[in-house]
Structure 1
Amino acid sequence: MSETTTLILHRKSADRPEVKAAVKAVIKSGVKLRVRIPWNKKDKAIVVKEAIEAGASRVIAGGGDGTINAVADALVGKGKKAPRVELGILPLGTANDFARGCGLPSDNLEECLRIACTGTAQAVDVGRMNKRNFINVASLGFGAEVTATTPQDLKKKLGGGAYTLMGLAKVRNFQPYAGRVLVPGKEPIEGAMLIAAVGNNRFAGGGFEVAPKASMTDGLLDLAVINHATGINLAAVLGELKDPFNENNRYLLYRQWEEFTLESDTPLHCNLDGEPVSKRSLRFSVLRRHLRLVMPS
Structure 2
Amino acid sequence: MFGFIVNPVAGNGRGLLVWNRPQKELERRRAIFRVKMTAKQGEAKKMAVELLQKEEVSKIIAVGGDGTVNEVISGMKMAGIPCTFGHIPAGSGNDFARGHSLPSDPVAVLEHILAEGEGKAIDLFRVNGQIAVNAVGAGFDGEVAKVTNEAAYKSWLNRWRLGKLSYIISVIRVFLSYQTCRVTLRVDGQETILDSVWLVAVANIPNYGGGMLICPGAVPDDGMAEVCVVCNVSRWSLISAFPMIFTGSHVHHPGVRFFRGQQIVIESERELKVHVDGEVSESTPITVEVEHRKQMICA
Whether these two folds match at TM > 0.5 is yes
- Alignment equivalent of 1:145, drawn from 139, 143, 147: 143
CA deviation string 1:130-174 (max 9, x = no partner): 111111111222222222212232442431111112212331211
Superposition map of 1:1-297 within 5 A: 4-12=1-9, 13=13, 16-53=16-53, 54-77=55-78, 83-106=81-104, 108-118=105-115, 120=117, 121-150=119-148, 151=151, 152-156=154-158, 157=160, 158-230=162-234, 232-234=237-239, 236=241, 238=244, 241-242=248-249, 244=251, 249-295=253-299
Q: Provide the rounded CA distance (Å) in 1 between the counterparts of 2:163 and 2:130.
A: 27
- Native 8 Å contact 1:97 1:205 kept in 2: yes
Q: Provide the rounded CA distance (Å) in 2 between the counterparts of 1:90 and 1:182.
A: 36
Q: Secondary structure at the match of 2:296?
A: strand
Structure number with the higher helix fraction is: 2
Shift of 1:8: 0.5
- In structure 2, stretches of 5+ residues that fail to align are none
* 2:129 partner amino acid: K
Q: Secondary structure at the match of 2:289?
A: strand
In structure 2, the CA distance between the partners of 1:131 and 1:172, relative to structure 1 (3 Å rule), is same
Q: Provide the rounded CA distance (Å) in 1 between the counterparts of 2:32 and 2:14.
A: 18
- Native 8 Å contact 2:199 2:229 kept in 1: yes
TM-score by length of 1: 0.87
In structure 2, the CA distance between the partners of 1:14 and 1:92, relative to structure 1 (3 Å rule), is closer
Shift of 1:241: 4.0
Q: CA RMSD of the aligned region, Å? A: 2.3
Shift of 1:15: 7.2
* 2:47 partner amino acid: V
Q: Secondary structure at the match of 1:140?
A: strand
- Native 8 Å contact 2:145 2:279 kept in 1: no
Shift of 1:178: 2.2
Q: Secondary structure at the match of 1:45?
A: helix
Query: Which of 45-54 and 250-259 deviates more?
Result: 45-54
Q: Provide the rounded CA distance (Å) in 2 between the counterparts of 1:186 and 1:17.
A: 48
Q: Provide the rounded CA distance (Å) in 2 between the counterparts of 1:65 and 1:17.
A: 17
- Native 8 Å contact 2:186 2:265 kept in 1: yes
Q: Secondary structure at the match of 1:202?
A: coil
* 1:280 partner amino acid: T
* 2:203 partner amino acid: G
Residues matched between the structures, number: 285
**Percent identity for Structure 1 against Structure 2:** 23
- In structure 1, stretches of 5+ residues that fail to align are none
